[in-house]
Structure 1
Amino acid sequence: MAGKLHFSLVSPERELFSGQVDQVDAPGAEGDFGVLADHAPFMTTLKEGRVKVYNGGAVTTYVIQGGFADVTPDGLTILAEQAEEVAA
């Protein structure tokens, strides 16, 4: 079984999410990408779109209006210009 990824989603107003997840898919400016535990480090800008957070079979979706994604050995942090959770 794959390990968990620490993920944080932050907007200027507040932190929307912080915790351990299975996978995160995000809308990169140069193409959509997915991040799992132990992903190679990188940083990229984000375009408007949806961030999908997969955890234990559940999927939570957030709409973002651009920002930055930073993948480090500690996990993934998304600093979004604007973000809100999409109701299921």
Structure 2
Amino acid sequence: MADLHFELVTPEKLVRSDDVHMVVVPGTDGDFGVLAGHAPFMSTIRNGDLLIHRTAGGAPERIAIEGGFAEVNDKGLTVLAEKASIEG
């Protein structure tokens, strides 16, 4: 399967722009996973961890985020977060 283009943006900067296998987002109504080819979708997000899977079956990277929106479109996934901090 093709990679998913993922961008994480805060008001201060572009935190991440990368092609990954999957991202799990802490949506307001529950966590949701996004793979390449996902249907268009928009959601508010709650405080929590983005789980970024660079490869299928690989251990996820965690990035703590606070509030914002997530949008999936034909170009990939964009997360617009109020704050983001890379753990580790």
Q: TM-score range by the shorter chain?
A: over 0.9
Summarize the alignment of residues 12-27 of structure 1 with structure 2, pairs less than 5 Å apart: 12-27=11-26
* Pairing 1:1-88 to 2, within 5 Å after superposition: 2-56=1-55, 57-87=58-88
TM-score normalised to structure 1 length: 0.93
Amino-acid identity (%)? 48
Aligned with 2:60: secondary structure? strand
Q: 5+ residue gaps in structure 1?
A: none
SS at match of 2:47: strand
Name the TM-score, length of structure 2 as normaliser.
0.93
The number of residue pairs the alignment matches comes to 86
- Could you tell me which runs of 5 or more consecutive residues in structure 2 were left unpaired when the two chains were aligned: none
